[in-house]
Amino acid sequence: MTALQITRADGILTVQDMGRPGHLAQGLSRGGAMDRRALLEGAALLNTKSPLAAIEMAGAGGEFSVTAPTRIALTGAPMAATLDDAPLRWNASHLVTPGQRLRIGGAQSGTYSYLTPAGGIATEPWLGSRAAHLSIGIGGALRAGDTLPVGDDPEPDRPSHGLPPEPRFDGGTIRVIDGPHTVLFSDAVLDAFYATAFRRGPRGNRQGLQLVAEARFGTEHAKGLASDMIGPGDVQMTGDGVPYVLMAECQTVGGYPRIGTVIPADLPRVAQAAPGAVLRPRRVTLDEALATARSEADELRDLSGRCTPLVRDPAAIRDLLSYQLVSGMVRGDEFDATWPHST
Amino acid sequence: MSAAAPLTAEVLPAGLDGFIIRFALTPDPAAMVAARRFANRLEDEAPKGVTEIAPALVTVLVRFDCARTGRADRSALRARMEAMAQEVIAGPLDMPDPARRWTIPVAFGAANGPQLAQVAGAVGTSEEAAVRDICAADLRVLTIGFAPGQPYVGLLPEAWNLPRMAELNPSVPAGALVVAVRQFVLFGAESATGWQQVGRAAFRTFVPAREEPTLLQGGDAIRFAHATPAEIDTLEKGGDPMGGARLEVLR
C-alpha cells in the first residue's frame, strides 16, 4: 500500500468521492465531491473505470509526497502546481516518485480543486463511501502531518495525459428546471429571477451557497409550508427572498420554498463560482434538460476519449540545451512533469 | 388520525431523476397519513427502476435510475405513481399499524426540560399532567431528517399546536426532546432550535460507528417513558447509545 503524505495544508482539504446515495430516508444526504465532473476528469486522466476517492482542495492546496511511484491527476479549479520546482500542467496526470515534493498553490480561478492518486485514497469507507461529511462529523479536514493510505498505481508507467478543461470556473449561465414549488412563485417573481445576473455571495460552503442581487424573490406561500425533501441543485428561497443553491452536503429536508433546480450538468459551475462571480439562471424545460443529460458513466467515457498524452512544448523547457535530445532511451514520457529529475 | 377534508395528490418532477408525490403543501394530519401509507405501499411493491423512496411529512420523494429510464418508462412510472396516490387518498386514511415500537426513557422538566413549564402553560395544563400526556401518547416517527436518524415524532393532540419560538433556543444538547406544532424532535447532536425543550433522553439517534448508524425508521411507533434525571445521567454515563431504549417488533 502506498501512502500520500501531507506536509502542508493551505486550503480546506477533505477526502471526497462520489458520495453515499440511497440514505435520504435516514436523513443522510449523498455528499461527495462539490465538482463531480472534476472527479470524472481525474478518473479519465488516470485511465480508471470509475471515479476514485481524491483530495478535494477548497481555495488552496498544500504540499504532498508519496512513498511509492504513483501517478496523480490534478483537476477542477486550476491552481499553480509544481513537482520539485518544475511547473505541472493542470488538468493532467503526472508521475510522482518518492522524495519529490508536490506543491499546489492557491486557486487561480474557481474554488474546488482535486488531487487524485491513481490508486485512489484508500481510507476506511463508511456506508460505502470515503467522503468526508463535515456537518455530521464524518471524516474531517486534513492537516499537515496527516498520512493517507493510497491504493497502488496499477500502471505507473503510463505516460502523462492531458485533457482540455471544460470552462466552468468563472460563473456563467446555469440551467434551471422547474421543481415542485415553482408554481408557488408569481410570474412576475419568476420573470425577475430569470432576468437577474446574480453574484455568488460571500456565504457558501459544502451545504449550499448564496446568490446575491438587489432584488428579492419571495412568495406569499412560504409561511406554513410543510418541510419537504430537498437535494443538491435546489434553489431554496430563504425567508428574506434571497436564493441559496443547495450543494453536495445539504440537509435532506427543508422548509423553504424552492424556485427550481439547477440541472446536474451545471452544478459544477455553481460549485466553482468564487464569491463575486456572476451566475445567470436560465429556465429550461425538463425535456430540454433531459435531451442533453448524460449519465456519469457516459460522461467518463467521453472524457476518457478526449485525453491525450502530454507533449511538452520545447519552447517551455527552460534549459533545453542541457537536455540530451539525441542520446537514446526515448520512453515517450520524458517531457512529462518529472523532468528533469527523472534522469 | 382520520381524514376530515378530501385530500389531493400531485406527482411532480423533482430534479432529473425523481418525483415528489405531494398530498398537501401544509403539514395537514391526513396528508401525513397518506404520505406514510403511500411510502409503505411503494416499499412493498417498488416499480422497476426505483432506486430510493424517502418520505417527508406530507410528501414522498421517489428517485429512479435516470440512465435506464427512457421517456416512455418515465411516463409509465409517473402514471403508476399517480394511480397509487389516488388509491391511497381514496382511503382508508388511518395510520397503518406500526411494524415496530420503541420505548425511550426521558427525564422531563427542570435542567432536562427548561421549557416544560412554559409549554404546559401554553397547552393549559400542569407540568405533571403534560408529562403524563406525553408518555401516554401513541406516537409515530413521521419522518427523519435535518440530521441523520433524527426523528420528527407526532402527532400530539391539537392543544399542543404550539408555534415555533421567534427567538431561537441557542443550544440544546444531544438527546434533547423538543416540541412545537404537535410534534417532537429528538435531537441527535447539540443544536440551535426554535422548538422548546421539555425533556432529555440518553438515546442517540445517530451513531456513525454502529453497524446501523441510524436506528429509527419512518412509521415506527414511539412511547416516551418517564425517567428520573439520575436514571438518564446513569444511562448516559454508561455510554450505551441505546440509552435504555427498548424495541418491540410487532409484526
Residue with cell 436506528: B215
Return the minimum-mean-pLDDT range out of A7-11, B28-32, B128-132, B190-194: B190-194
Estimate to the nearest angstrom the gap between the alpha carbon of B18 and the chain centroid: 22
Structural domains of chain A ordered from first start: 2-163+305-322 (no CATH), 172-292 (2.40.100.10)
Residues of A with Cβ-Cβ distance to B149 under 8 angstroms: 26-27
Residue with cell 446515495: A21
H or E element at residue B223: strand B221-227
CB contact under 8 A, B66 and A293: yes
CB contact under 8 A, B15 and A231: yes
pLDDT one digit per residue (tens) for chain A, 343 residues? 899 999 999 999 999 999 999 999 999 999 999 999 999 999 999 999 999 999 999 999 999 999 999 999 999 999 999 999 999 999 999 999 999 999 999 999 999 999 999 999 999 999 999 999 998 999 999 999 999 999 999 999 999 999 999 999 999 999 999 999 999 999 999 999 999 999 999 989 999 999 999 999 999 988 889 999 999 999 999 888 999 999 999 999 998 999 999 999 999 999 999 999 999 999 999 999 999 899 999 999 999 999 999 976 555 454 444 444 444 343 333 333 332 232 2
CB contact under 8 A, A228 and B217: no
pTM score of the predicted model: 0.91
Contact predicate A63/A8, CB 8 Å? yes
Give the pLDDT score at B241.
94
- Cα–Cα distance between A235 and A89 in angstroms, integer? 35
Residues of B with Cβ-Cβ distance to A293 under 8 angstroms: 16, 66
Name the grid cell of A146: 496527516
* Residue A223 CB coordination number (10 Å): 10
- Cα–Cα distance between B229 and A63 in angstroms, integer? 51
Q: Is the ipTM of this complex over 0.90?
A: yes
Most B CBs within 10 A among A228, A246, A288, hence the mutation to make, goes to A228
H or E element at residue B10: strand B10-13
The rounded radius of gyration (Å) of the Cα atoms in chain B is: 19
From the list A136, A177, A233, the residue facing B148 with the nearest CB is: A136
Residues of A with Cβ-Cβ distance to B15 under 8 angstroms: 177, 179, 231, 233-234, 261, 264
pLDDT digits (tens, 9 = 90+) for B68-81: 888 899 999 999 99
For residue A38, give every residue at least 6 positions away whose Cβ sits within 8 Å of its Cβ, in sequence order, or none.
A75, A76, A112, A113, A114, A268
Structural domains of chain B ordered from first start: 10-89 (3.30.1360.40), 100-249 (2.40.100.10)
Residue B240 has pLDDT above 50, yes or no: yes
Contact predicate B175/B204, CB 8 Å? yes
CB contact under 8 A, B213 and A231: no
Residue with cell 443550544: B171
Cα pseudo-dihedral B45, A24, B94, A183, rounded to 10: -100
Estimate to the nearest angstrom the gap between the alpha carbon of A178 and the chain centroid: 25
CB contact under 8 A, A251 and B145: yes
DSSP for residue B226: E
Residue B8 has pLDDT above 80, yes or no: yes
CB contact under 8 A, B25 and A226: yes
CB contact under 8 A, A298 and B67: yes
DSSP string, A242-266: -EEEE-TT--SEE-S-EEEEE-GGG
- Cα–Cα distance between B87 and A41 in angstroms, integer? 46
From the list A25, A126, A293, the residue facing B208 with the nearest CB is: A126
- Cα–Cα distance between A187 and A178 in angstroms, integer? 13
H or E element at residue B33: helix B29-44
Name the grid cell of B107: 427525564
Residue B151 has pLDDT above 80, yes or no: yes
For residue A188, give every residue at least 6 positions away whose Cβ sits within 8 Å of its Cβ, in sequence order, or none.
none
For residue A200, give every residue at least 6 positions away whose Cβ sits within 8 Å of its Cβ, in sequence order, or none.
A171, A209, A210, A211, A212, A270, A273, A274, A275, A276, A277, A278, A279
- How does strand B100-108 pair with strand B221-227? parallel
Q: Taking an 8 Å Cβ-Cβ cutoff, which residues of chain B contact chain A? A: 10, 12-16, 18, 20, 22, 24-28, 31, 51-59, 61, 63, 66-67, 71, 143-150, 152, 189, 206, 208, 213-214, 217-218
pLDDT digits (tens, 9 = 90+) for B10-66: 999 999 999 999 999 999 999 999 999 999 999 998 888 899 999 999 999 999 998
Q: What is the mean pLDDT of residues B135-159?
A: 95
Polymer length of chain B: 251
Q: What is the mean pLDDT of residues B178-186?
A: 96
- Cα–Cα distance between A343 and A163 in angstroms, integer? 26
Residue B5 binned pLDDT confidence (cut-offs 50, 70, 90): low
Residues of B with Cβ-Cβ distance to A132 under 8 angstroms: none
Q: Taking an 8 Å Cβ-Cβ cutoff, which residues of chain A contact chain B? A: 21-28, 126-127, 136-138, 177-180, 184, 221, 224-229, 231, 233-234, 251-253, 261, 263-264, 286, 289-290, 293, 295, 297-298
DSSP for residue B40: H
Distance in Å, alpha carbon of B228 to nearest chain A alpha carbon: 30
Distance in Å, alpha carbon of A250 to nearest chain B alpha carbon: 9
